[in-house]
Structure 1
């Protein structure tokens, strides 16, 4: 066919064109599945911006959806000409002259890139095609994706074909409208309306040239040119966009000069109410799946996935009810203690005078104001002291009020928060996840994001180390002063912990009694005997992942850990010494119902079954030993039926900043933290601020509700019998305490602590307050 062309150059050129056409056709038809999906005309006429993914409880009840809430479409006549001019001048100056692909712009961009001035050659229409149809995502790719250079050529051709189709179906105004409604502006802002409200508190039809240029300037790199996080770079980029607008006649020189001289002029006061359906659980699932989505090229917000979690809807409901009931009560107690006094105090109880100023300076808006007013603190203070209408969280529902910014800081700083997680160790399934008291107002997740001092809930790792290194639950130590010298960071230090009441009984106590009663002095002695380095090793071995300072006070919980880690570590004891990887998601299906992701239990034997069982026996000491710190649970009558057994450990950090409770039943492990988000805000006495008075009541109320529901699947019952033959002595005698005096009864006799006492034990003694590690 080609031989009839006598001119060889023309013949070669014709052959080249012929093969180019074949190549384009092969890409369009996805020949032999080599090139992947290319949008057809039906897709172009009916574009789907995104399909929401859905996340479910384990019983199939819908938890929520993932979709881009911050996407509010607008019509072309609601878009300022300044935005259109800025976009065209910066992204595609020949937009009105080409039919979707600008070959002149493409080749000039290649030349510029070759000279070191890298710039894109994609038209607005091509960018719209990428936004709408994700032509470079893995699901749109074929086998050619494994060939680097050819892969890029195919991407570009698919974008050209898609752009031509778009221009065939839509006019220029419609293309611009779709572009502005789909383009991302960072900070989960999709579309021009959401972005203009978020950054300037204006609708897009009233943006001036400088504001329009700021937003369009972000399109090059939404993080780098974010005006909130990088105001200097954003300002530079804005002025470049303004320069382009002047260059191509969209601004006169006088207008350009006036707009370049303006500050960024952000207004961040817009409150977005579209995320009210969000939750800690929904966000936890997103975070848990982040790596999986990246590895498998899925987008939770666009790909219509169905995600099945391990969360039990009944238990989640009961936990939320228990948290609301007890936290409301705790907040009243907290207000009653401090009254009109400010609760932000140092370790000596002295009010921190510059607390509010530092709180203001940590806010993103402070940097903007500081730049706007050139560091003029008088003007900055006026902003923070100006009264504004706002809606605030209360335990009686949301309330509209008028407060200044500084009053708002005061109000929210005084609110207590919590984190709670329940896991079934035998399956690794997380059954309850409560990241805080209200997601809408407190985004920080107190299950896996927040890390706080664990207090006495960390002591069991010291006793675990002892049991796994030759000690038994019956070995005795004397409650007496302890002083430990050690070297840290090249400095010689001495640590001398006190008990809660700053007294020592000089009594001999078994390890079980000492752990149940939470005696600091004996825990310190155990730490000295087994070595604090070893305690750190064992804590990491059973599930703690946070870095831990290997110092003597580690056993009293001086390090920061998360609720998630603590639940995982405690679950190792109930799971016969096998550490589990907690499961939050079991299965994911795509829009066609195909399983695209599945997770099963992963576990590793890290301590012996014997030591694991002995630790459960030790945990029961909190209920069964005289003065055990879990004994406030006797007040919850709904817990004590059918020989039910519960083990656990309370914890309180220095100055009553953090209150913890770790509860263990025959089936579940639950971890709860309570405190204020700022560590300078705390209770002021053991009667109000200890974990036994803050976190433990939530556990008690929660488990009462679980046991009361026969459909929950969790029943009363004793702890499991020994998993293996127990070679260590454990059924050791404990002294009976006189009911009123608190002294040892001289006629004490051994008691069988292998079963729950039939009568309520003696009054609870104050829980131990951990000492801060030396600095």
Structure 2
């Protein structure tokens, strides 16, 4: 002891200097943190003007969330939308003395400080109050080396105390719950609630609130979707803490801790969730609209961070049911399609097709631009790598080369489906393809395909509009047109090729007889038909050729929908629209849809009513009768099927008094079609989507106002104009001098 005293006496001065230096360094260190040398320390003024990034919400016509645009998936909510049970779970688990401290729990802070510096225990983190965690959420940490944890804790303590000076305890809880990151990259309690439980935070149960609060300890490790057992264990820890701090009694704890985990996952990411093709169309529209708006108003509104509310025309239930119907039908049709080709499928055996498609890929073009020769390119494209792969029954990770991946995706049938309110043009559903993550191309508005027999109503409309009697009969016999290099239109079914038979226009249209459609086009005139289609809303270039009658024109699904609205909108095509209004995050209306000037009347009331009756016959006795038989639909429906050459495109247009719906099904590669007409015709490949969809809608009482509407009874004059036998055989003398075995040949003469 004497030796120690002597030592201290001898080196007292040096020890005091060392001790003073040590504490001086600590003071300088703390001061450097306070002054922002290790990272920005916001002032109280800055903290009082917090402006959090907020996701833009895309809403259905009844205000339900169908998607978001964001950098951080955050939807701030007011304090009165946060249930008390959620706050109790948070405080009990994360910061039991929250209402007692001034932002910092000094005991915990000292523990972290000394364990980290003196004991070099890197796992000694923790001890942060809710206010400190809020500081970390608002001003994220950066990598600062070995002193990082100390710097972060000091910095967050300073910010936390300033937050407590600026905000009340309730406001701090509100800011925390609106900013804290939850599992699956969701930010804030509202986004997490909607993602995991498909409900707003205000409707969370105690168990659901405890599950989300529990995940905050480690958002990946306790992700309820990925690790349900782990999540339940952690949830029960939260419930125990609530019991421990008297927020739950023993009986409630015993009951709730035995509850099972019930999730209702909703996806709002770019590739997933409801109506992704439609949401992308909205995004592109907003991008252009905001650029003009910001310039005009001298504002800096951002699509992804400023919490806009985009109110759309999409019907939530109808959209959901449409996506279900497409998956249900196409997953089965895809299997039948692949089986029909077997091992000789073109996407497996046709080298020219595969190589042509390969040269259009980004991977091939990149290698070609790097000056590699064909052999080197092919060698590179044959190398396997792990990729996500789409299949109807699952999405998996597989080791595939670029070539194998191409072959896999070449085989997939795709689709476009849209429905529109014909009275005002409001789009009700929009499905641009089978899966947005793997097939980005939108088949509603980007794709243009041959429309087949769905063009025939425009031909018949033109003929009737130009004075042709609806009861005019046409011979079903094929004709070889001399001035068209012997072109001979034929019918898909041989049933119509009966000798000496003539059919009425109604029968010919409803049964989609090709030979008669061309003859009606002669009467109508090609130029007249093109002009008529344009009046009804077709903007794509239409070929001035006789095959136009059979639908060789390439038109988008959206154009077809607009044109067909003329038949249920008093002869006036309705211009489709999809946004009703745009609001900022405070509810101020930035844009509201204004009813455009009404388009000119495209067809007379008489023609419209006649055509509607003809297309009702398509459903009741023509090519679309399976809607009545197979699907048992009793709704008022008119419509038209369509199939293109070599079974490349299948179409169906369904018309009800409240909706015009257009469906297209086919492959993106135009060189591949259905193996048989039986499989690839519109009635088999496209119509079932509409049939299943309407079946599902009929079961939803809230959709009765749309599904149970009826067509207005046609006038007596209209019914009389169509009151003729559907077929008429040639008379005796005409049959006597007509050789059925002799091929009919003449010139095609289109009406001028």
- 1:549 alignment counterpart: 543
In 1: Cα distance, 2:66 partner to 2:561 partner: 23
How far did 1:578 drift? 1.0
In 2: Cα distance, 1:540 partner to 1:484 partner: 27
In 1: Cα distance, 2:604 partner to 2:519 partner: 24
Q: Which of 645, 654, 663 is the equivalent residue of 1:654?
A: 645
Given that 1:609 and 1:724 are in contact with CA atoms closer than 8 Å, whether structure 2 keeps it comes out as no
Map Cα deviations across residues 105-142 of structure 1 (whole Å, 9 max, x no partner).
xxxxxxxxxxxxxxxxxxxxxxxxxxxxxxxxxxxxxx
1:293 is the counterpart of 2:296: no
Give the match's secondary structure for 1:687: helix
Q: Specify whether residues 669 and 540 from structure 1 end up closer, same or farther in structure 2 by C-alpha distance, changes over 3 A only.
A: same
- 1:443 alignment counterpart: 440
How far did 1:592 drift? 1.8
Deviates most, 704-713 or 408-417: 704-713
- 1:307 alignment counterpart: 310
In structure 2, stretches of 5+ residues that fail to align are 1-42, 75-138, 146-268, 295-300, 733-752
Given that 1:482 and 1:525 are in contact with CA atoms closer than 8 Å, whether structure 2 keeps it comes out as no
Give the match's secondary structure for 2:446: coil
Q: Which of 711, 716, 735 is the equivalent residue of 1:719?
A: 711
Q: Which has the higher helix share?
A: 2
Q: How many residues align?
A: 491
Map Cα deviations across residues 599-629 of structure 1 (whole Å, 9 max, x no partner).
144332222222111111110121334xx11
Map Cα deviations across residues 231-282 of structure 1 (whole Å, 9 max, x no partner).
xxxxxxxxxxxxxxxxxxxxxxxxxxxxxxxxxxxxxxxxxx9744581121
- 2:723 alignment counterpart: 731
Q: Which of 707, 711, 722 is the equivalent residue of 2:698?
A: 707
Q: Which of 495, 505, 515 is the equivalent residue of 1:521?
A: 515
- 1:510 alignment counterpart: 504
The aligned runs of 1:447-458 (5 Å cut-off) are: 447-458=444-455
In 2: Cα distance, 1:422 partner to 1:548 partner: 23
In 2: Cα distance, 1:728 partner to 1:534 partner: 26
How far did 1:573 drift? 0.5
How far did 1:583 drift? 1.8
The aligned runs of 1:561-576 (5 Å cut-off) are: 561-576=555-570
How far did 1:517 drift? 0.8
How far did 1:303 drift? 3.5
Give the match's secondary structure for 1:459: helix
Map Cα deviations across residues 172-231 of structure 1 (whole Å, 9 max, x no partner).
xxxxxxxxxxxxxxxxxxxxxxxxxxxxxxxxxxxxxxxxxxxxxxxxxxxxxxxxxxxx
Q: Specify whether residues 614 and 390 from structure 1 end up closer, same or farther in structure 2 by C-alpha distance, changes over 3 A only.
A: same
Give the match's secondary structure for 1:580: coil
Give the match's secondary structure for 2:573: strand
The aligned runs of 1:101-112 (5 Å cut-off) are: none
Given that 2:55 and 2:72 are in contact with CA atoms closer than 8 Å, whether structure 1 keeps it comes out as no
1:332 is the counterpart of 2:352: no
- 1:65 alignment counterpart: 68
How far did 1:378 drift? 2.3
The aligned runs of 1:92-491 (5 Å cut-off) are: 275-276=271-272, 279-297=276-294, 299-344=302-347, 352-372=350-370, 374-484=371-481
Map Cα deviations across residues 479-511 of structure 1 (whole Å, 9 max, x no partner).
11224466xxxxx75532111146732311111
- 1:759 alignment counterpart: none
Q: Specify whether residues 339 and 469 from structure 1 end up closer, same or farther in structure 2 by C-alpha distance, changes over 3 A only.
A: same
How far did 1:293 drift? 2.8
How far did 1:728 drift? 7.5
- 1:671 alignment counterpart: 662
How far did 1:344 drift? 4.9
Task: From the CA coordinates, give the structure whose radius of gyration is larger.
Answer: 2
In 2: Cα distance, 1:46 partner to 1:362 partner: 51
Given that 1:52 and 1:303 are in contact with CA atoms closer than 8 Å, whether structure 2 keeps it comes out as yes
Map Cα deviations across residues 341-399 of structure 1 (whole Å, 9 max, x no partner).
22359xxxxx7432222222111222221233x23222211221111111111111211
In 2: Cα distance, 1:69 partner to 1:436 partner: 27
- 1:4 alignment counterpart: none
Deviates most, 526-535 or 43-52: 43-52
Give the match's secondary structure for 1:639: coil
1:607 is the counterpart of 2:603: yes
In 2: Cα distance, 1:439 partner to 1:363 partner: 18
How far did 1:726 drift? 4.4
- 2:242 alignment counterpart: none
Given that 1:288 and 1:584 are in contact with CA atoms closer than 8 Å, whether structure 2 keeps it comes out as no
Q: Which of 594, 609, 613 is the equivalent residue of 1:617?
A: 613
How far did 1:532 drift? 1.0
How far did 1:294 drift? 3.2
In 1: Cα distance, 2:631 partner to 2:315 partner: 24
In 1: Cα distance, 2:549 partner to 2:322 partner: 29
In structure 1, stretches of 5+ residues that fail to align are 1-39, 80-272, 346-350, 487-491, 737-742, 747-775
Q: Specify whether residues 47 and 407 from structure 1 end up closer, same or farther in structure 2 by C-alpha distance, changes over 3 A only.
A: farther
Q: What is the RMSD of the two structures over their aligned residues, measured on CA atoms?
A: 3.1
Q: Specify whether residues 693 and 726 from structure 1 end up closer, same or farther in structure 2 by C-alpha distance, changes over 3 A only.
A: closer
TM-score, structure 1 normalization: 0.59
